[in-house]
Structure 1
């Protein structure tokens, strides 16, 4: 399946609209079965099952809204990117991090995508973890 810029932007829009709605099923539908998830300053996970578990853990520990979203795609539609702000609330203490007491945070962030067969094959998310720790400490 060939992809173009407009189709990739539509796919990324669908993915982030599903994120905003906490619609994990639609998010997973946007992904290849062998999705490569590069977690900010963390491990690389593979597959939809691992991605689904990550999303459940995120929804349990954090309440996040993404704002100022800007999406990008190359002309061939094989790569995409997103730039946004994360407005969040820290709900459940993550191991090795400050205790969660409902602290709010506001972080610039970005994500990079590989697209294959009309689906997201890789997502790499980046933000400044030291800034996050400082905000919730």
Structure 2
């Protein structure tokens, strides 16, 4: 599979809530660079992050557009997050099932058939406004 196909499959698994399918595409030492907070290294930390996200949010992505580098190692994705805020996180507004639609993007690196980096970006102040 090409890097583009791997990342497309990764996001397809996300929309299907196939967390194991997503994890299977990650390198064991994946570097996760979230919009907020510390960088996480490794599948274990990424799995903990995904569990926390699944507890607090119900999200699907739409309008996904992928961009690929000429050397087939880096992929960018632009998308719209369609979500429900299920459970409050520390420092964020209370959750009571608020719906939100939020533009976002991600940058991923792929080496030897595995995703080695996931970097995500979105406008946190806008999200807070949408759920407040």
Same structural fold, with TM-score higher than 0.5 when normalized by the shorter chain: yes
TM-superposed deviation, 1:65? 1.0
Q: State the number of aligned residues.
A: 132
TM-superposed deviation, 1:115? 1.3
Q: Could you tell me the TM-score, scaled by structure 2's length?
A: 0.97
Of residues 61, 79, 82 in structure 1, which corresponds to 2:77?
Answer: 82
Aligned-partner Cα distance in 2 for 1:25–1:117: 19
Aligned-partner Cα distance in 2 for 1:8–1:115: 6
Q: Could you tell me the TM-score, scaled by structure 1's length?
A: 0.93
Q: Residue deviations 1:8-54, cap 9 Å, x none?
A: 11101110111111111110111111000001122100100111111
Of residues 15, 18, 22 in structure 1, which corresponds to 2:17?
Answer: 22
- 1:3 is matched with which residue? none
Aligned-partner Cα distance in 1 for 2:93–2:29: 33
- 1:72 is matched with which residue? 67
- 2:43 is matched with which residue? 48
TM-superposed deviation, 1:75? 1.6
Q: Which moved more, 1:6-15 or 1:28-37?
A: 6-15
> Can you give the 5+ residue segments of structure 1 that lack an aligned partner in the other structure?
1-5
- 2:5 is matched with which residue? 10
Aligned-partner Cα distance in 2 for 1:44–1:132: 21
Q: Residue deviations 1:68-121, cap 9 Å, x none?
A: 000111121111110000011100011011100111111100000111111110
Give the SS at the match of 2:2. Answer: helix
Aligned-partner Cα distance in 2 for 1:37–1:113: 9
Give the SS at the match of 1:43. Answer: coil
Aligned-partner Cα distance in 1 for 2:114–2:68: 13
Superposed structure 1 runs of 4+ greater than 2 Å apart: none
**Cα RMSD after superposing both structures:** 1.0
Of residues 113, 124, 131 in structure 1, which corresponds to 2:126?
Answer: 131
> Can you give the 5+ residue segments of structure 2 that lack an aligned partner in the other structure?
none
